[in-house]
Structure 1
Amino acid sequence: MLERASKPMVSLVEKYLPDPYLFVIILTLLTFVSAMLFEGHGPMAVVEMWGNSFWNLLTFSMQMLLVLVTGFMMASTPLVRGILNRIASLAKTPGQAIVLVTFIALVASWINWGFGLVVGALFAKALARQIRVHYPLLVASAYSGFIVWHGGLAGSIPLTIATDGHFSASAIGIIDTSETIFAFFNLAIVVALFIVVPLVNRLMLPAEKDSVYVDPKLLDDEPDTAVVINRPADHLENSRILAWLIGFSGLAFIFQYFLDNGGLNLNIVNFMFLFIAIILHQTPKRLLASLNEGVKGGAGIVIQFPFYAGIMGVMTASGLAASISAGFVSFASAESLPFWSFISAGLVNIFVPSGGGQWAVQAPVMLPVAQELGVEIPRVAMAVAWGDAWTNLLQPFWALPVLAIAGLKAKDIMGYCLMLLIITGVIISIGLTWL
């Protein structure tokens, strides 16, 4: 039934979803018009908001590019490729491959969202090299695991409000993760998604005659490792000693970092990926050959993330994001506020695809209403967090690293993600409202 139901969505998305670059251009223009119509700003005022914030995500853009590149470099090492291939060999049928990649992506994303994006995509390629399986759904399944990230260990909103001195501390104090990430209602949602998402992905698997397969040779991205010594500098480029000296220095820092109780974040994940890759590639030349392959897929991140920074700037500075949130909660009751917080966050996420940035916009609206109605602050905060994670199934912003690694376009996977959006939305809503 789900396979039949997903066909119209897949067809619709394939026909009408533009390239992510065109998507962000259309979204930018829609934000301009909305800020002028609903917030009363003039055209030049809106353009100034956009231009002033256009480069605000430069650090984050570089981090995301490094997620793609360092993850690729690590996965292209013989050791990691061997591990991925051995795990992939556990799947004997296309259905098992879909379930396995979804489960691995869910686990990795719950631990850390950047880790989940890379691991899911790379594992999907490892599976496709061994099993004839519908490749677009395989990659969509790898991306679908990302939905649990904001309810997991690296969720930016629950970690923010658990940090001393956060911007809302004077109003709500410090909220421990036992009330958010490890609260019963949140863990129940996570467990339900761990069961339902792999099952839904499996049930969307089309018949063999309707499947799209990929030639395993096209997925063989192992870099050229031939050693050629023609000049003195070639000895340095092929030196294991140099690679190991700098590589083990990096590992020493990682060890000390976790010894000092440092937590997982995007920088330390990229740091680990990079220095593990340096050691496992064994020579600088092999590492650079892998880098040259991995960086080819980063064009979308480089060109599109500044546009999203501009959109976020307009949404925030114009008051549009706050108005959207206020509009939803204006008719909420104590019982329904978590649900409407979730829905409003899902809508805002289309324009502001950043968990931390979204909380900064929505918290000043949501928190006073929650306090007035007597609603649990941790539940409302997690409702915003889940809304942010939920519509990532529709927003191609976060899919860019996955698509770059897999070699697909957004239209190839978003039809399946749309079906998951509907089903997971029901599950999360029930968890936030009734548990």
Structure 2
Amino acid sequence: MPGRISYLMTRLVSRWLPDPLIFAMLLTLQVFGLALWLTPVTPVSLVGMWGDGFWNLLEFSMQMALIVVTGHALASSGPVRRLLRSTASLAKTPTQGVMLVTFFGSVACIINWGFGLVVGAMFAREVARRVAGSHYPLLIACAYIGFLTWGGGFSGSMPLLAATPGNPVEHIVGLIPVSQTLFTGFNLFITLALIVVMPLVTRMMMPAPHQVVTIDPELLREEAPTRKTLATDATPAERLEESRLLALIIGALGIAFLVIWFIGHGFNITIDTVNLMFMIAGLLLHGTPMAYMRAAVVAARSTAGILIQFPFYAGIQLMMEHSGLGGLITEFFIRISSQDTFPLMTFFSSALINFAVPSGGGHWVIQGPFVMQAAQELGADMGKSVMAIAYGEQWMNMAQPFWALPALAIAGLGVRDIMGFCMTALLFSAPLFIIGLLLF
């Protein structure tokens, strides 16, 4: 059944799903029209909101571009290549390959979402290199399907924000500790169920041999060595560029900072610490400053989609927030909820809003105040209400290409290549979230 559905979904999205940039532009117009229709804002004020928000994600865009560059550069180093090869060798058949990539990506995203997105795509490429007959688009889709676990993992934005002083709902319901969100029976059930069930689902998505898309060998070609052998008459500048000592000193400085950071903040892995860890590890493993720079230059070619598309989502997010459209959608689902169904209705409202605001932090700003106040009035479980927002966001990511961009950039594929499989994962993962929210 999953195989037949994924085949139909792939044909559907291949015909109708545009490039992510076009998707973002059409979504901009849709949100603009809905806000005009459903809220009292004027066209002029909406244009102002869109323009004011357009550059609000510059810091985040840079972080995501860097995670692609630093992650790709790290993966191109000799030691990491060998580690990925040895792990990928556990898969002996294409079917085992998709299951292994799904499992690997799911576990990696629990550790940290940025780490999981990038390393999962790198691992999928390595499995494609080693396992003959692999369906490359499915392998990359499996890496992204692993992203289903991130909201309930150690870097889940919403449970961490709900426990952080100064967050947008603290004045309404106070702080909600992670003991009521991440470390609960329902979150443990949902997260473990995704780790166990989704590899089985992706296994059944494996196409028939005549439908397998073999990857262009050029996309899987190993990058040229980045080390440069110096001539005996090399200049002082060239010797500095290829200095192992300079790389070691800068690497030691970065490691010292990370040690101090974790001592002061606990095991709090942020996207910035992930980028720094990737950068320092890549620098040390490539051996010299310019060897690392050559790897980064190759990796930077993959960041265009992130740099151009993320501003559109920033504009959409501000229109949703300042026009009140996000609040209207949330309030509709709240009105049709009871104490028992409230988490499930919150889950679906979060999924709907995720099309326009595919960001955990932005989601919390828009939905958090409405949802948590309603949860308090209904007597609903506060921790489960927080996680319902997180689950809806992570679930609908399977139909929203925003977060697929880093993985696609590393893979050298387009969104139409993987979205049919992701939509199938959306359908078959839904019961896991629903059971967890209703029965635990």
For this structure pair, what is the TM-score category when the shorter chain's length is used for normalisation? over 0.9
Deviation at 1:172, TM superposition (A): 1.6
2:371 alignment partner AA: M
Partner in structure 2 of residue 364 of structure 1: 369
Match of 1:187 in 2: 188
Partner SS state of residue 245, structure 1: helix
Contact 1:128 1:216 in 2 (8 A): no
**Contact 1:342/1:387 (<8 A) preserved:** yes
**Residues 251-290 of structure 1 correspond to what in structure 2 (within 5 A)?**
251-260=255-264, 261-290=266-295
Instruction: Tell me what 2:385 maps to.
Output: 380
- Give the secondary-structure state (helix, strand or coil) at the position aligned to 2:175: coil
Cα deviations by residue, 1:298-357 (Å, 9 ceiling, x for unpaired): 000000001100000100010000001111111111111111100000000110111111
1:215 Cα deviation (Å)? 3.8
Q: Which moved more, 1:315-324 or 1:422-431?
A: 422-431
Aligned to 2:30: 30
User: Superposition pairs for residues 266-415 of structure 1, below 5 Å?
Assistant: 266-415=271-420
State the 1:5 CA deviation. 2.2
Match of 2:169 in 1: 168
> What secondary structure is seen at the aligned counterpart in 1 of 2:396?
helix
Unaligned runs of 5+ in 2: none
Q: What's the C-alpha RMSD, in Å, of the aligned pairs?
A: 1.2
Letter in structure 2 aligned against 1:240: R
Name stretches of at least 5 consecutive residues in structure 1 with no aligned partner: none
Aligned counterparts, 1:62-77, within 5 A:
62-77=62-77
Name the SS for the 1:222 alignment partner: coil
Residues 373, 210 of structure 1: alpha-carbon distance in 2 compared, 3 angstrom cutoff: same
Give, in whole Å, the separation in 2 of the partners of 1:157 and 1:313.
19
TM superposition shift of 1:231 = 3.8
TM-score using structure 2 length: 0.97
The structural deviation recorded for 1:221 is 4.0
Deviation at 1:165, TM superposition (A): 3.3
Taking the aligned partners of 1:263 and 1:400, their CA distance within structure 2 comes to: 25
Corresponding residue for 1:153?
154
- Give 1:287 shift: 0.7
2:46 maps to 1:58: no
1:246 has 2:250 as partner:
yes
User: Secondary structure of the residue that 1:398 maps to in structure 2?
Assistant: helix
* Cα distance in 2, alignment partners of residues 387 and 214 from structure 1: 33
Q: d(CA) in 2 for partners of 1:395 and 1:409? A: 13
Shift of 1:43: 1.5
Structure 1 equivalent of residue 429 of structure 2: 424
State the secondary structure of the residue aligned to 1:297. coil
CA–CA distance in structure 2, aligned partners of residues 362 and 101 of structure 1: 33
Match of 1:8 in 2: 8
Contact residue 168 and residue 369 of structure 2 kept, 8 A = no
Structure 1 letter corresponding to 2:354: N
Q: One-letter code of the match for 2:255? A: L
Percent identity over the alignment is: 47
| Runs of 4+ displaced beyond 4 Å | none
Partner of 2:229: 227
The more displaced of 77-86 and 168-177 is: 168-177
Letter in 2 for 1:175: I
Cα offsets for 1:231-277 (capped at 9, x unmatched): 44221111111111111211122222223325101000000000011
**AA paired with 2:252?**
F
- 1:97 alignment partner in structure 2: 97
Moved more, 258-267 or 105-114: 258-267
Partner amino acid, structure 2, of 1:20: P
Secondary structure of 2:302 counterpart: helix
| Distance in 2 of aligned mates of 1:140 and 1:217 | 20
1:39-71 CA distance string (max 9 Å, x none): 132221111010011111111110000110010
Greater CA deviation, 103-112 or 217-226? 217-226
Amino acid at match of 1:17: L
Normalised by the length of structure 1, the TM-score is 0.98
The residue type equivalent to 2:242 in the other structure is N
